[in-house]
């Protein structure tokens, strides 16, 4: 009787081992090669930063406040993506101006937002800033940072929006407050 129990137990153990091994394999398969951050990672919490370091250590410090008359202004791109809503508070089109790297990241994020929530778009409330609206060395002045929400301005979506931003390859993502997520990129 005891032997039978023992046998049953070892069969169960073996079964569990196989199930574990299979799910581990399946998990590895789902993850694309070279993808550093696991897919399906949790949404960001309020005040969380990814990576969890100072912004300056991840994307580099601001060098110069770019003005329209500066030669560097020509290096900024105008983002004309129809899948992004631009707040354009200043009515100058400044929010559409950004470095090519930020442009690329936001465009990728816009696609992800569209498929995450139907009828909802990515919304940019600030990108390049020429009006000294940010703190001293803000990367907004170089067009390397953007403040984002979803078009429905639903604060409950921000944690997931921040996760999508990380997955879209934006270099530094900060769930800054209940009203917006701040993202920034390295130079280039
Ligand atoms: Zn910002």
Q: What's the gap in Å between 81 CA and the centre of ligand 1?
A: 20
Q: Are 131 and 92 in contact (CB under 8 A)?
A: no
Whole-number pLDDT of residue 130? 87
Q: What's the gap in Å between 155 CA and the centre of ligand 1?
A: 16
What is the fold of 43-184?
Muramoyl-pentapeptide Carboxypeptidase; domain 2 (3.30.1380)
Q: Which two tokens stand for residue 178?
A: 């209940």
Q: What's the gap in Å between 104 CA and the centre of ligand 1?
A: 17
Q: What's the gap in Å between 90 CA and the centre of ligand 1?
A: 15
Q: What's the gap in Å between 79 CA and the centre of ligand 1?
A: 17
Q: What's the gap in Å between 146 CA and the centre of ligand 1?
A: 5
**Which residue ranges of the chain lie beneath pLDDT 50?**
28-29, 31-35
pTM higher than 0.85, yes or no? no
> For the chain, what is the radius of gyration of the CA atoms?
22
Query: Which of 184, 144, 157 lies closest to 51, judged by CA?
Result: 184
Q: What's the gap in Å between 41 CA and the centre of ligand 1?
A: 23
Whole-number pLDDT of residue 97? 95
Q: What's the gap in Å between 128 CA and the centre of ligand 1?
A: 10
Q: What's the gap in Å between 140 CA and the centre of ligand 1?
A: 7
Q: What's the gap in Å between 14 CA and the centre of ligand 1?
A: 53
Q: What's the gap in Å between 107 CA and the centre of ligand 1?
A: 17
Whole-number pLDDT of residue 5? 63
Whole-number pLDDT of residue 88? 85
CA 66-146-79 angle, to 5 degrees, is: 80
Whole-number pLDDT of residue 17? 63
Whole-number pLDDT of residue 56? 96
At 168-181, the pLDDT tens digits run: 999 999 999 999 99
């Amino acid at each position: 009787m005891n032997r039978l129990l023992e046998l049953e137990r070892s069969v169960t153990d073996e079964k569990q081992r196989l199930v574990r091994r299979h799910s581990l394999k399946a998990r590895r398969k789902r993850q694309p090669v070279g993808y550093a951050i696991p897919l399906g990672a949790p949404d960001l919490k309020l005040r969380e930063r990814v990576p969890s370091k100072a912004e300056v250590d991840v994307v580099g410090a601001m060098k110069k406040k770019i003005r329209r008359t500066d030669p560097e202004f020509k290096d900024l791109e105008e983002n004309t993506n129809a899948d992004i809503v631009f707040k354009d508070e200043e009515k100058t089109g400044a929010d559409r101006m950004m470095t090519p790297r930020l442009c690329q990241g936001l465009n990728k994020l816009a696609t992800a937002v569209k498929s995450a929530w139907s009828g909802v778009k990515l919304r940019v409330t600030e990108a390049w800033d020429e009006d000294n609206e940010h703190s001293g060395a803000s990367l907004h002045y170089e067009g390397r940072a953007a403040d984002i929400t979803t078009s429905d301005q639903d604060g409950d979506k921000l944690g997931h929006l921040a996760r999508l931003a990380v997955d879209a390859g934006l270099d530094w993502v900060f769930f800054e407050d209940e009203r917006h997520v701040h993202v920034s990129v390295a130079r280039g």
